[in-house]
A and B are shown apart, each in its own frame.
Chain A
Amino acid sequence: MTPEQQRRVRDLFEQVVDRDPASVAAWLSTEAGGDPTVRQEVLSLLAHHSVAGAFLAEPIADRLPLLDEDESFASGSVVGPYTIDRELGRGGMGRVYLARDNRLGRTVALKVLAPHFVGDAKQRERLRREARAAALLAHPGICTVYALEEIDGELVIASEFVDGRTLREEMDGRRPPPAEVLRTAREFAAALASAHAHGIVHRDLKPENIMRTRDGRLKILDFGLARLVEDEEGDRPAAALRVTHTGVILGTPAYMAPEQLRRQTVDARADVFAFGVLLYEYACGVHPLHAREPIAVAPALGDVIARCMREVPAERFASAAEVLVALDGDTAARQRAPNARWWRTHQAVVAALYIVGAVLGWLIKEWKETPMTVAIFLALGAGATIGGVLRGHLVFTASMNPKQLDGERRRSSRATRLADLLIAALLFADGVLIAGTRALGAVTAFSLAIGILLAALLLEPATTIAAFGDAE
């Protein structure tokens, strides 16, 4: 058939498809009279249309098995020192069995890693390193890793068997009472904080990786394993974002932080993001991606969740420890953190420099009294007073009223920076005025100006970020 004929077929089919079948043949004879090929084709397609039944009627995705039915260990089989009891589950990383460690007689969860995970020696070495790091984590909220072993060419990880159900199963669309949400959030954050304190980032937190034991405690599984699927150089989860030929998903974008999806460097704040998403889902019964209405939880908890889920890592809590502090409403503790000491010291030193600057302005006025030096002295005095009062106010707020600190910092940051620049400029001008007569005084004024300028442009942002995680 020519393209022209095919177009005719399509047009005719579309015109007759909803007609009474009895009248179709006659109608077609007139419409496609001159071209028997076209008429035959339309009739043939109509015939197939009438018997197609359920053919392609429903989307296929939901009716296909996701995972391959590949090899698995039967109950009773022996894998090195372990005897398999039964399969507990399977995932992107391999299968998990309930097994018995015959040497110690204890029950373990045995994860047999899928072959594509442990392909080369380099990757095995990484896995060993990560397992060693994860094995150091001893926290009741973290599933303990017992051993990493190579048995008959298979890499297996033996860990504590957590008897219970996953957070995914627990959630199942329900909305737990606020007190339970808060308790879960604290427990979760505390476990995560202990890992972060050891410099270990989970990177693949999701409801399937978190379990509730039968006696109600929370346990995070699979620490350090996500790193396996990342690039050798740095923290780019490139391999995590690949789909294996069997269609197994590695990594769960629904809980990944934006920087993780963009394959940028990942740190504890990626876990903080996932924590926020998880908590949202736990509290609201729906993943934020699918939420159609605004979040409806206690405002304090909502604030914590919102800050965890900020797109820019610097705007999130720096680690789970900070989340925990915020959850406990104990923001004062955050200010007692050693990092904030530097910020406070900086505030005090800059305020002292203001006073030195004002005194120097007075000296210069005494040495060389012109309308200019008098004016500069007055301006210096005013600038030093404003800047000093603002900084004093911030330090006071930090120790007495820490909840308001973030807002106060944002409110006054421009004013203090302006005061710094003004004072530096005035000192510089003063220095120029007396450069011919008082070399030492001029040099002092210049140095002070440069010092205040650098402190404003370099040191202040650094100490502020160290203390609060943002530059404002």
Chain B
Amino acid sequence: MTADGPMDADALTPLVYNELRRLAGAYMRRERPGQTIQATALVHEAYLRLAGAGAPWHDKRHFVGIAARSMRQILVERARARGAQKRWAALDRVSLSDSLAIAAHEESMLPALDEAMDRLEQVDAELARIVELRFFAGLSIEETADALGSSPATIKRRWALARAWLHRELGGTP
């Protein structure tokens, strides 16, 4: 498929459905009844963005990659629209560090996380990709490894590195 160069959204619609099923499946397996609709909706939204932009992609891996990036954008934009930065800035240093460790105020954290990820990308782009796939698209270690063409063991260690790096960048105290 890659041999023919980029294709447009139309030509890949059935393929997209397979990938959507896979992405949605990643949520379904978590088996949190009643909460999967939003995740599925997010996958759909990501797809709509891709289709709407007529974004060309090359293969399944590439699609999963841009879908994950798209999900990051959607969630961060939404958080910004809801005034997340203000709420995040209002946290003092101690409660901020606690919030990070217990994953509280996650929505408020998103814009700051987004900016930190931009900086991480300058240092090591792959680490930023891993965060997109794991945190924003909800892929497992194995699925992330598959999407990045790497081994699960390597992804697991780099995921730990990315989290540590972002934790520091967001102002967590060790």
Contacts and interface: CB of A to CB of B under 8 A. Distances in A.
| A complexed with B | yes
Chain B facing A: main interface SS: helix
B145 to A, nearest CB: 14
Given A53-B102, A55-B167, A254-B44, A48 B38 contact: no
A63 B106 contact: yes
A60 B71 CA distance: 10
A49 B48 contact: no
Contacts of A34: none
B101 A10 contact: no
B20 A45 contact: no
B174 A253 contact: no
B13 A258 contact: yes
Given A60-B136, A62-B38, A249-B48, A52 B163 contact: yes
B158 A14 contact: yes
B157 A289 contact: no
A151 interface: no
B25 to A, nearest CB: 7
Q: What class of interface size applies to chain B in its complex with A?
A: 35 or more
Given A44-B168, A61-B42, A63-B106, A14 B174 contact: no
B103 A58 contact: yes
B149 interface: no
A53 B137 CA distance: 20
Nearest to B16: A261
Contacts of B123: 6
Q: What class of interface size applies to chain A in its complex with B?
A: 35 or more
A68 B82 contact: yes
B141 interface: no
B111 interface: no
A241 B174 CA distance: 45
A178 B34 CA distance: 26
B124 A6 contact: yes
A338 interface: no
B45 interface: yes
A352 interface: no
Interface string B43-81: 011011101100000000000000000010011011101
B52 A242 contact: yes
8 contacts: A48-B174, A49-B161, A51-B167, A62-B35, A241-B48, A245-B77, A247-B78, A289-B17
5 pairs of A and B residues whose beta carbons are closest in the complex: A59-B138, A53-B101, A47-B174, A49-B164, A54-B103
Given A56-B131, A64-B38, 14 more contacts: A6-B124, A51-B173, A54-B101, A55-B100, A59-B27, A64-B75, A241-B52, A243-B49, A243-B52, A245-B77, A247-B77, A247-B81, A290-B21, A290-B24
